[in-house]
Amino acid sequence: MFDYTLLHWTSFLVAAVVLNLAPGPDIAFIIGQTVRGGRKAGFAALGGIWLGAFGHVLMAAAGLSAILATSAMAFSVVKWAGAAYLLYLGIKALRSDGSGFIAEGPATSPRAFPIFKQGIIVALLNPKVAIFFLAFLPQFVVEGAGPVWAQLFLHGTLIIVVAAFIEPPLILAGDKLTSSLRNNPRFGLWLDRSLGEIFIGLGLRLALDER
């Protein structure tokens, strides 16, 4: 079971690295929260995104992602829900006064759980991720290497494992580069506006996407 060639693993790992480096709502959310609240907020966002992505892996292994790929209504419902949530995050950031970035002490440190929940929602409400897994993972299914669902689950989980080597360094670097700027209210205001524009742009792009 799970008997693959070296070429198979090399091709898969290269594809997984490229996938995790590709810009999208997940990376934007992780980096944005890191810059906004430091490594604690970044890792909370990371955990939420990973859990949401794992949900897509489970759906792909169970065949539920096929519903999004074949049902225009199901795709539209998830797409518009995801777009609306990204727009909500963007408008919320635009309306902020930037004071949330000012590091005055432990009392102002970001709460991890709300950010974690937001990460789950951002990942789960992106139908493109579900369809991508449905299109990407079957390419690495090898006849005779095990049940199809098990192979899909294995490769999907390994994509998240690869992310564990790529995304945490981005959080640490982002935290280090911006830590000295968090006491600057003008920087906080600029960053809030920038994050708001990014999330609104991602929401509009998702809303305009076709299957």
pLDDT at 188: 63
pLDDT tens profile 18-64: 878 777 778 888 988 888 788 899 999 999 999 999 998 998 888 76
Is 56 in contact with 123 (CB distance < 8 Å)?
yes
For residue 45, what are the CA distances in angstroms to 79, 88, 170? 21, 17, 12
pLDDT at 61: 84
Is 48 in contact with 30 (CB distance < 8 Å)?
no
Would residue 13 count as lying in a domain? no
Total structural domains within the chain: 1
Would residue 91 count as lying in a domain? yes
Is 133 in contact with 55 (CB distance < 8 Å)?
no
Report the run of H or E that residue 103 belongs to, with start and end.
none
Q: What's the average model confidence in pLDDT over 196-203? A: 77
| Better pLDDT: 3 or 24 | 3
pLDDT at 68: 59
pLDDT at 172: 92
pLDDT at 160: 92
CA distance 84 to 72: 18
CA distance 183 to 135: 45
pLDDT tens profile 88-128: 877 877 777 655 544 444 444 568 899 999 999 988 887 76
Would residue 48 count as lying in a domain? yes
Q: Distance between terminal CA atoms of the chain?
A: 34
Would residue 184 count as lying in a domain? yes
